[in-house]
Structure 1
Amino acid sequence: MSLAFIFPGQGSQAVGMGVDLAETFSAAREVFQEVDDALGQKLFALMRDGPETDLTLTENAQPALMAVSLAVARVLEKEFGVGVDRAAFVAGHSLGEYSALAAAGAISLADTARLLKLRGQAMQRAVPVGEGAMASLIGPKTDVALAEAAAAAGAEVGVCVVANDNNQGNVVISGAKAAVDRAIEKAKELGARAIPLNVSAPFHCPLMQPAADEMAQALAAATIVSPRAPLVANVTARPVHEPEEIRRLLVEQVTGRVRWRESIAWLVESGGVTRFAEAGSGKVLSGMAKRIAPDAEATPLNTPADLEAFAKSL
């Protein structure tokens, strides 16, 4: 069995996430306290009690999701003796890439929390609320070619690109609101269903360049070392372990496409991965992995029981 740890992105947040881990394991409580201390914020209290509207804010959701992922990783290592170095690779969806790097020891937990807080704020600052939009194109006919054709129609009136290639039947477009509206019309003509997403900014498109510039400055000052397991990067769908290349790709990721379908396909076909373990909140990535690679095993690690069963299965 060849294992890859995968780490979820924005949208997987939920009030109450991580609470059962904190109640069961001191290692999880330590992670949540470290993140609170790094941010000077009672983030775990927000995760535990809400309100959901505050937790969903990008600047809170990003470090909160990372904190849950790192709590899972630390509990696995401290309580069950399963370190990230048991994996052949790590990968994360958008902000999950930071979680993957932190879990693999490439960036400290405190630095990761601060970088994600800034990333959320910078993304929000980049485009005024209401000027950008994202939409999910879904259905059996939906693939990258269809999404690119829809985005090209939108691009006639403004910025519009494919933002997330999640899996066959699930591709996300992003850009200026009028352009995304036009792309939605085109996608429907081409046989896809189109669902506008409830997001505060148009992520992973050229409108995010001001945020990329802010992150370039912040990442230039951050300490990054080689991860304990190679990271399969969002923007290349290929492994990377050299710190300067990781730094460059994290900047590119702000405006670039999340090549998730290609990443999972590479992990299975070239990386030899037969099992995915989703460390963190929810099970969105496990579902995507099963759709991309039906023969691979995909296990969401949410609860203490999930972690115990996973550790015993290795």
Structure 2
Amino acid sequence: MNSWPVGLVFPGQGTQRQGMGEPWRDTPSWDITEEVSLATGEDLAELLLHTPSEELRRTDLAQLTVFTVAVMAHAEAVRRGLLTGPVAACAGHSLGEYAALTAAGALPLADAATLVAARGRAMQAAAQQREGTMGVLVRAPLAEVEQLVGRVREAGAPVWVANVNGPGQIVVSGSPEAIEHISEEASSIGARMIRLQVGGAFHSPYMEPAAEALRIALKNTSFAPRHTPVVANVDAEPYSGDGDWAELGTRQLTSPVQWERSVHTLTGPLGCRRLVEFGHGRTLAGLIRRIVPETEVVSVDSPDALDQLQP
């Protein structure tokens, strides 16, 4: 089994919780918190151990904490020599793309952390300029969600598809009024809406100011000319050094996250027979099981969970 091609996946914002770093505190990989703190000017140990969940909802802090736990979990697996199968590719959901780029060798840790901090600040500032929110439509096909979103937008309420997470789970993003309108109309397509506790209308045109700010940071960052393929959110295509990550990362802020297609890329053309999720929680594993139920998926959300990777 361990000779099968493996894909590594990393979660995005929304998985942060108070004390999320506690399981990793006594591992050698905990030293990563110091490096991320130096690169970003934030006290990651304090954020990961003591900061209340309510405060961690702040976009810039949420992104740093989720990123740091994901790279710690991956680093500990590497340190213990547990990734024995060939790693065919990496992918991350939204923010998780930066952990994927780190694991793939496209970015050094300090550079990736710096970009995550810049991204979080830019998204928070954009959200303060224009109030927005998000919601998940469950049990509805993508085509019907797109039609509903189009009707509401044509009626003057700004709303867009933000994440295509998997069968029957589509995230929409826009103004509070538009999201309320979508919620009221959800039953017309056999769906129901779950509101997301987020600070803005992410992956929509509301993030254009953030995209412009992030573009500058990305352009000033050097990506490795060759690295393990990373499947990009914006088009679900793998890039191994031939991609313009400055452009891909900029587009990601205002474009839908094509997660369902990305998982099919990992398990189809890239041949991944096993997917390993690194980071807090097991959100991606749940989505993957709905997208490709025949594919083995493992969540590494604590040092104890690393035992699942044993040969």
Q: Which TM class, normalised by the smaller chain length?
A: over 0.9
What's the counterpart of residue 219 of structure 2? 220
What's the counterpart of residue 118 of structure 1? 118
**Contact 1:119 / 1:215 at 8 angstroms: preserved in 2?**
yes
Q: Are positions 1:90 and 2:95 aligned together?
A: no
**2-structure distance, mates of 1:36, 1:161:** 35
Matching of residues 161-240 of structure 1 within 5 Å: 161-226=160-225, 228-240=227-239
1:159 deviates by: 2.1
What's the counterpart of residue 263 of structure 2? 264
Q: Deviations over 1:246-305 (max 9, x none)?
A: 221111000011000111112222222111100111100011111100100010001112
Q: Are positions 1:71 and 2:72 aligned together?
A: yes
Q: Give the SS at the match of 2:80.
A: helix
Q: Give the SS at the match of 1:88.
A: strand
**Contact 1:150 / 1:184 at 8 angstroms: preserved in 2?**
no
Query: Which amino acid counterpart does residue 285 of structure 2 have in structure 1?
Result: S
**Contact 1:153 / 1:183 at 8 angstroms: preserved in 2?**
no
1:113 deviates by: 1.4
Query: Which amino acid counterpart does residue 161 of structure 2 have in structure 1?
Result: V
**1-structure distance, mates of 2:282, 2:217:** 31
Query: Which amino acid counterpart does residue 58 of structure 1 have in structure 2?
Result: T
Q: Structure 1 residues 232, 249: closer, same or farther in 2, change over 3 A?
A: same
**Contact 1:130 / 1:177 at 8 angstroms: preserved in 2?**
no
1:242 deviates by: 2.6
1:86 deviates by: 3.1
Q: Are positions 1:36 and 2:34 aligned together?
A: no
What's the counterpart of residue 153 of structure 1? 151
**2-structure distance, mates of 1:7, 1:157:** 36
What's the counterpart of residue 109 of structure 2? 109
**TM-score, structure 2 normalization:** 0.94
**1-structure distance, mates of 2:305, 2:124:** 34
What's the counterpart of residue 5 of structure 1? 8
Q: Give the SS at the match of 2:253.
A: helix
1:117 deviates by: 1.4
Query: Which amino acid counterpart does residue 90 of structure 2 have in structure 1?
Result: V
**2-structure distance, mates of 1:210, 1:252:** 12
Q: Structure 1 residues 242, 80: closer, same or farther in 2, change over 3 A?
A: closer
What's the counterpart of residue 292 of structure 1? 291
Query: Which amino acid counterpart does residue 152 of structure 1 have in structure 2?
Result: G
- Give the unaligned 5+ runs of structure 2: none
Q: Deviations over 1:41-82 (max 9, x none)?
A: 212212111211222211011111111111111111122253
**Contact 1:80 / 1:308 at 8 angstroms: preserved in 2?**
no
**Contact 2:218 / 2:245 at 8 angstroms: preserved in 1?**
no
- Give the unaligned 5+ runs of structure 1: none
- Number of equivalent positions: 307
What's the counterpart of residue 252 of structure 1? 251
1:188 deviates by: 2.1
1:129 deviates by: 7.3
**2-structure distance, mates of 1:96, 1:3:** 17
Q: Structure 1 residues 197, 185: closer, same or farther in 2, change over 3 A?
A: same
Q: Give the SS at the match of 2:18.
A: coil
> Which segment drifts farther, 8-17 or 165-174?
8-17
Q: Give the SS at the match of 1:196.
A: strand
Q: Deviations over 1:128-178 (max 9, x none)?
A: 377212111012xx1211211221122122321100000111100001222
**2-structure distance, mates of 1:153, 1:44:** 46
1:125 deviates by: 1.2
Higher helix share: 1
1:6 deviates by: 0.2
1:205 deviates by: 0.4
**Contact 1:161 / 1:174 at 8 angstroms: preserved in 2?**
yes
Percent identity among equivalent residues? 35
> Which segment drifts farther, 196-205 or 143-152?
143-152
**Contact 2:63 / 2:120 at 8 angstroms: preserved in 1?**
yes
